[in-house]
Chains A and B, each alone.
Chain A
């Protein structure tokens, strides 16, 4: 195998890897969506139960396309560009219960291609170009749902064999080409019997033959946006006479471009249909005289959504339980029209233009009132308008402009369990105790109600309250520390975005059942209150977007044991090395922390995000060790430096003298002919022999001797340099055993050599006074080398040698 083969393999592998399917559940659920595959990958195990193969490229389904998947239940082949399906195409996956073929341009359906799927319950053939319901599916006796929406089907006639499909419950024919429904089209539908849902929405119906649905029982009929014209709509409803249906959905979708005129007789057809629930998706603008509910007085659920009504008249409902009026632009909450309807249990009136509420009188069964998203302003809430509704459990007045709560406003509403005022400006509640009689209240939402709490007894009496949401309000002084004392059953408390700076240690001391505490978006700097032993049930704690920089370790160790979700994100965390305990706790407790990736360090630059979880604790440990190492190094350095200073003290003095700007020797006249470097022990020889022969000889030679010529009061080093080395033309070195042992002699000799290096003159004259072992001359730096390279004089007592010695010495000194 050579380079090119290996390279080819390396290139090809990533391509192949990109085509593998995603394993959703090991061995059971795989997704090959959007891989442009034209075959089923072999790595799909035979145990697979759900296979998503949508958005691929199969084109032609035959038996060989699918491996044997005995356990496959759900197969999604949406948008696979399938054009032909052969017989036995699904033989190897014959245990399917759900098959999706959505969006495939199928031009050839083999007669028996689906008939091998004996266990199929759900068949989706949406947008495949189907023209008829006459499918060859007689073996699918367990079929429950058939969705053939968005096709070109012209008749809703079902094949006769489907009358034996006892489980069949949903026929979805939305957005097809059905224009006429005749009596013989619904024969099979009638035989299937009860529990059927029929969806005919968005078909261009022209005509429904009267009697077509007589005796038909349906659970749901959807005919929204189904008629091509107003006339056909009117006739169509009349054509449905005799139908029994639980849920009737009619009207028009919001995005249907058609717009029909209002007509008083439009709804007459509804009176001949027997329905329990009516869902009217309205687009029309109705005149105030029209009574759209005339044919719905026997319904138990009435929903009207959309359109324009403005005003409704009196309706003699006598079975109604639920009434929904949504987005109909009504001006007033129709309390007057609904009063005395003793069967109504639920009233939903949302997204209208109502500004006022008429009183609800004599409605003993009304439990649920939802008036959110209107323009309601109430001066005194709430018993004034709800005095006839003693059983109300749910009251929603959220998303309205303003509500004033009065003292005694809830007397008579003791059954209330859920009260919602969120995003409605509330007056009165922050200053007075107004809710004390609501013993059964479990849920209270006054979020973003512009309330400032000044009274610590605002929630007095709410002994059953479990959920309290009051985000976006504020507290005066330390009211927050006492406000919750009576809420002993509270489980969920939301005081986010309330400008809270500090919470006292005992603020939540009575909340033994608290599980969820939300303090997001405040200005807290500490969470010490969380260590209260009474908060042991707490599982969720949100304190993100506060001003917490650090939490002491002793606090972290006392957090509630059940705490499983703790949000500390978006706080200015102090990520310095003095907080390594806190950093370590965060890093080790990411399982409990919510959004740990958003726990960011406080940084100088506002653009840089540094996560606490990315903080390197080892860096701090390393830093500490580095400091210790540096200290040790400094101490060692100082000691070594001291030793070196002592060792080289003479040289340092010499450098100091030079640095003081010593004058060039050329500028100074030499005082002596020669400077004599010798040991004190050799002084006798120097005085008796050297001085006698040189200074007393002819001509006389002036010598510089340290015991005679050095200036008193001047340092020895300075004398050596000034008078000796620099003040003499020549230097005579008297080498003896004592010379070798003398530190001063070595120093002087080395200084002499340095001058020699500078001036490049052979001005050092060495006299060997006595034989010195060669190994000892090496002790003196450079002496051994000097003796090797330069001629020296050797003293001897022999008269002849002695005479030659003095002649040579004198000559050397006199030489320039």
Chain B
């Protein structure tokens, strides 16, 4: 009876350990933002050092052409304060770096965005209307990498997106 109990305990704890190992699978789920004849946009949050965090992104509506106006909405919960916040955006085509911008979004003096100065635990929602002035006939798969860092060097959010133009 004692041996049976110990075996059962061993088995249960083994399963718990397996479950824990499984829950630490280092990849966030793949999200699909747009899925139309013209444009497909999918993204996955990067695996950042602990603690992990997913990011919500949506396009309203999905544009058929670059000149169509669309609102990009981003939402995530802060795990660190952002007195200062710096963003980095990089665009790749077939592995080649084609465009990039590094921009300080929040600086200590004269904060410009609603989320500047937010603290840990707060929900950040950011909306931006984007519209291109020229309709570039883009074809192919683009990789977009976006990440943001706070005043202490913590990576606040990170997203890897794929934009497929047909």
A254-262, A565-573, A720-728, A751-759 - interface stretch: A254-262
Quick check: is A5 within 8 A (CB to CB) of the other chain? Answer: yes
The answer to whether B129 and A254 touch across the interface, beta carbons within 8 angstroms, is: no
Q: Which residues does chain B contribute within 8 Å of A55, judged by CB atoms?
A: 51, 79, 121
The answer to whether A102 and B120 touch across the interface, beta carbons within 8 angstroms, is: yes
Number of A-B contacts (CB under 8 A): 90
CA–CA, A253 and B128, complex, Å? 12
Quick check: is B77 within 8 A (CB to CB) of the other chain? Answer: yes
Quick check: is B7 within 8 A (CB to CB) of the other chain? Answer: yes
A6-14, A526-534, A639-647 - interface stretch: A6-14
- B-contact bits for A255-273, CB 8 A (1 contact / 0 none): 1110000000000000000
Q: Which residues does chain A contribute within 8 Å of B102, judged by CB atoms?
A: none
Given contacts A15-B20, A54-B121, A255-B127, contact A305 B13 (CB under 8 A): no
Q: Which residues does chain B contribute within 8 Å of A5, judged by CB atoms?
A: 6, 9
The answer to whether A124 and B50 touch across the interface, beta carbons within 8 angstroms, is: no
Q: Which chain B residue shows the least CB distance to A1?
A: B6
Shortest CB distance B76–A (Å): 12
Shortest CB distance B102–A (Å): 15
CA–CA, A34 and B52, complex, Å? 9
Interface class of chain A by DSSP: loop
Interface residue count on the B side (C-beta < 8 Å): 29
Quick check: is B147 within 8 A (CB to CB) of the other chain? Answer: no
CA–CA, A362 and B37, complex, Å? 65
Q: Which chain A residue shows the least CB distance to B128?
A: A255
Shortest CB distance B65–A (Å): 22
The answer to whether B128 and A79 touch across the interface, beta carbons within 8 angstroms, is: no
Quick check: is B16 within 8 A (CB to CB) of the other chain? Answer: yes
The answer to whether B110 and A303 touch across the interface, beta carbons within 8 angstroms, is: yes
Shortest CB distance A673–B (Å): 91
CA–CA, A79 and B119, complex, Å? 12
Q: Which residues does chain B contribute within 8 Å of A254, judged by CB atoms?
A: 112-113
Q: Which residues of A281-324 are within 8 A (CB) of B?
A: 281, 303, 305-306, 324
Shortest CB distance B34–A (Å): 20
Quick check: is B10 within 8 A (CB to CB) of the other chain? Answer: yes
Q: Which residues does chain B contribute within 8 Å of A103, judged by CB atoms?
A: 77, 121-123
Q: Which residues does chain A contribute within 8 Å of B113, judged by CB atoms?
A: 253-255
The answer to whether B10 and A127 touch across the interface, beta carbons within 8 angstroms, is: no
Quick check: is B126 within 8 A (CB to CB) of the other chain? Answer: yes
Which listed residue (B13, B20, B51) contacts A8, Cβ 8 A?
A: B13
Quick check: is A126 within 8 A (CB to CB) of the other chain? Answer: yes
Quick check: is A244 within 8 A (CB to CB) of the other chain? Answer: no
The answer to whether B9 and A76 touch across the interface, beta carbons within 8 angstroms, is: no
Quick check: is B94 within 8 A (CB to CB) of the other chain? Answer: no
The answer to whether A8 and B6 touch across the interface, beta carbons within 8 angstroms, is: yes
Q: Which residues of A63-83 are within 8 A (CB) of B?
A: 76, 78-79
Interface class of chain B by DSSP: mixed
The answer to whether B114 and A4 touch across the interface, beta carbons within 8 angstroms, is: no
CA–CA, A126 and B119, complex, Å? 10
Q: Which chain A residue shows the least CB distance to B2?
A: A2
The answer to whether A4 and B112 touch across the interface, beta carbons within 8 angstroms, is: no
Q: Which residues does chain A contribute within 8 Å of B120, judged by CB atoms?
A: 54, 76, 78, 102
Q: Which chain B residue shows the least CB distance to A175?
A: B114
The answer to whether B126 and A150 touch across the interface, beta carbons within 8 angstroms, is: no
Shortest CB distance B126–A (Å): 6
The answer to whether A15 and B122 touch across the interface, beta carbons within 8 angstroms, is: no
The answer to whether A102 and B6 touch across the interface, beta carbons within 8 angstroms, is: no
The answer to whether A257 and B119 touch across the interface, beta carbons within 8 angstroms, is: no
CA–CA, A303 and B109, complex, Å? 11
Shortest CB distance B57–A (Å): 15
CA–CA, A456 and B114, complex, Å? 52
The answer to whether A2 and B6 touch across the interface, beta carbons within 8 angstroms, is: yes
Shortest CB distance A410–B (Å): 29
Shortest CB distance A24–B (Å): 14
The answer to whether B10 and A281 touch across the interface, beta carbons within 8 angstroms, is: no
Q: Which chain A residue shows the least CB distance to B121?
A: A78
The answer to whether B17 and A127 touch across the interface, beta carbons within 8 angstroms, is: no
Given contacts A103-B123, A253-B114, A254-B112, contact A79 B13 (CB under 8 A): no
CA–CA, A305 and B111, complex, Å? 10
Q: Which residues does chain A contribute within 8 Å of B129, judged by CB atoms?
A: 257
CA–CA, A205 and B101, complex, Å? 36
Quick check: is B108 within 8 A (CB to CB) of the other chain? Answer: no
CA–CA, A55 and B50, complex, Å? 12
CA–CA, A252 and B3, complex, Å? 71
The answer to whether B51 and A127 touch across the interface, beta carbons within 8 angstroms, is: no
CA–CA, A175 and B110, complex, Å? 19
The answer to whether B110 and A326 touch across the interface, beta carbons within 8 angstroms, is: yes
- B residues neighboring A (CB under 8 Å): 3, 6-7, 9-10, 13-14, 16-17, 20, 50-51, 71, 77, 79, 110, 112-115, 119-123, 126-129
What would be 14 A-B contacts, judged by CB atoms less than 8 Å apart?
A4-B3, A8-B9, A11-B10, A12-B13, A15-B16, A76-B121, A78-B120, A78-B121, A150-B123, A225-B114, A255-B113, A257-B127, A324-B110, A326-B110
The 4 lowest CB-CB distance pairs between A and B, nearest first, are A78-B121, A4-B6, A102-B121, A34-B51
- A residues neighboring B (CB under 8 Å): 2, 4-5, 7-8, 11-12, 14-15, 18, 33-34, 54-55, 76, 78-79, 100, 102-103, 124, 126-127, 150, 175, 201-202, 225, 253-257, 279, 281, 303, 305-306, 324, 326
